[in-house]
Amino acid sequence: MPTRTTAQRHGPGFSKFLRAAIALQTVAIFFQAVTAGLLLSTAYGETLHSVGARVMYAASMLYVLAAVLAWRPGGGSPRPVLHATGFLVLASVQVVLGIAHVASLHVPLGTLMFGLSTLQLGRTLVGLRVRADAAV
């Protein structure tokens, strides 16, 4: 008997929540890149970057919650939880580096985080497209 995925057991709500959390995180990190430029050129850039940092960190925590909810109730793969937890660790390091004004590490880490988040979002969306094609 084939094993059913979390989405099959509990409906598509869990995977939609996970995709939405990853998308929010990716958008929040992109916003941080935009506000980093504003930080250097405008008076209100620091405020926007500070608010964006809080939103990005909250989005990372939401991603962990979504991954746990997609994994634990349905017995799915723990891989998304590991990815989300690793990303939350990177976000924590990013916050510490930002507060300490260590731009030489803060900026490259932010770039890495954006790339990783975009990659994870792409994987999730491609996986969704592959499952939809297989269902037809």
Number of domains the chain contains: 1
Alpha-carbon distance of 45 to 5, in angstroms, equals 44
Q: Which two tokens stand for residue 74?
A: 């349905």
What pLDDT does residue 75 have?
Answer: 67
pLDDT tens for the chain, 136 residues long, are 445 444 444 445 668 889 999 999 999 999 999 999 999 899 999 999 999 999 999 999 999 999 998 887 766 778 889 999 999 999 999 999 999 999 999 999 999 999 999 999 998 888 766 555 565 5
Alpha-carbon distance of 50 to 124, in angstroms, equals 29
* pTM to 2 decimal places: 0.81
What pLDDT does residue 127 have?
Answer: 72
What pLDDT does residue 9 have?
Answer: 46
Asked whether residue 19 is assigned to any structural domain, the reply reads yes
* Pick from 135, 1, 11, 20: nearest CA to 74: 11
What pLDDT does residue 131 have?
Answer: 58
Asked whether residue 51 is assigned to any structural domain, the reply reads yes
Which structural domain range is residue 28 located in?
6-135
Asked whether residue 1 is assigned to any structural domain, the reply reads no
Asked whether residue 66 is assigned to any structural domain, the reply reads yes
Asked whether residue 65 is assigned to any structural domain, the reply reads yes
Asked whether residue 33 is assigned to any structural domain, the reply reads yes
